[in-house]
Structure 1
Amino acid sequence: MIEIARRGVCLVLSAPSGAGKTAIADALLASEPRLERSISVTTRARRPAEIDGVHYNFLTEDGFQQALRDNALLEWARVLQGSHAYGTPRVPVERALAAGRDVVFDIDWQGHAQLRERLPADVVSVFVLPPNLMALRARLVGRAGDRGDEIERRMRVAQDEIRHWVEFDHVVVNEELHAATESVRAVLHAARHSTARLNGLAAFVERLN
């Protein structure tokens, strides 16, 4: 009997808004049974269609501050001029990794930097790029329905985010969703077979010799 246990992988997907990282994550989650989504905590109010513990774990501001004091978050940030906080809870991620399950993260480059600092041996990251800026603009317009100044603001933010591609392990250009998803899947499968992730491998090879 082969006794090689595998430690899970933190698969981080980052991209400018509109590049398609969430669609890639959804496609992988639908077809990779050992992959689960990291569910963030947030201090913003729950929207009517959202389910606590499924879409987000909703915390009060006091609860969020307590999580920070307890070192219970792997990464966190404030958005919208600091009015709402988001973060990744530590315990569910570490429990999944220890059990050999993989966790996909849909976070920005700042969250990626924090996560890599805290779990340096467990993170494999992919930056998703649009095929060109015209396609990115079209996706933003089609998705949000914004016009004028708001689209220009989103484009400026996107171009700033694109500058951080060099901080990631891999880059995938999302010209066609299926092809981009398969490229990210290949990264995940390769990471699963990294020698550093295979507990008991040395003992198994020793028996072979």
Structure 2
Amino acid sequence: MSIPTLRMTEDLLVAILLGDSTIQKKSAKHELKFYLPPNKQKILKMYIEKYKLQSLICIEGVNVETDFFIVSNSLVLERIIREWSDGTSVIFLDPRLLKNSTYMLWLCLFGRKVNNQVIIKQNTLTLDTKHTLIYFFEKTMRTSFLRLNAEGHLKVQAIDELLLASIIDNRPSYESLALHELLTDHSKKSFLQKQEKMKEEMREYACF
């Protein structure tokens, strides 16, 4: 496995582990069971096809009607789960695998707009690990931050800044579209204002 391919594989597996998933053990090996609605399944498919991961990651549908999937038979997943968890809960995070690309994929796959807020349902992280994730996220992303809501799930703020950064950095179009769908009423106004300001700055620059 090449280094770039390994990194893309790690990004996906870490994103799923930190998303709406649970750790399971079968025949002495670990699996990840996760929930992904139809609109998010398209992002997963495009990511796997874009980076040609079909032969490296085994993802199977548990039940088409329930939108649950299982990741299995992955040496990379086994390594991450053994290093990060106690077999049930994530108790440690390796910041070397928590990159901008990892967080972006995580948000696109598992971010949900609920009551005009963007949340990520989390099942595997302990409370201490959630606070560690919040710290690492803010340190890496800079323009956005996380909070815990009353239910203990992660609330993502400043989605407009993340979308703008995605566009400026020329990240995959499916990623920017997914972030755009997560914009709340407030962040939509903020995004449009920042976008217009950026266009104005570009027009001014072009005049010189």
Q: So what's the TM-score if we normalise by structure 1?
A: 0.29
- Greater Cα radius of gyration, structure 1 or 2: 1
Quick one: higher RCO (CA 8 Å, sep 6+), 1 or 2? Answer: 1
In terms of fraction of residues, the more helix-rich structure is: 2
Q: So what's the TM-score if we normalise by structure 2?
A: 0.29
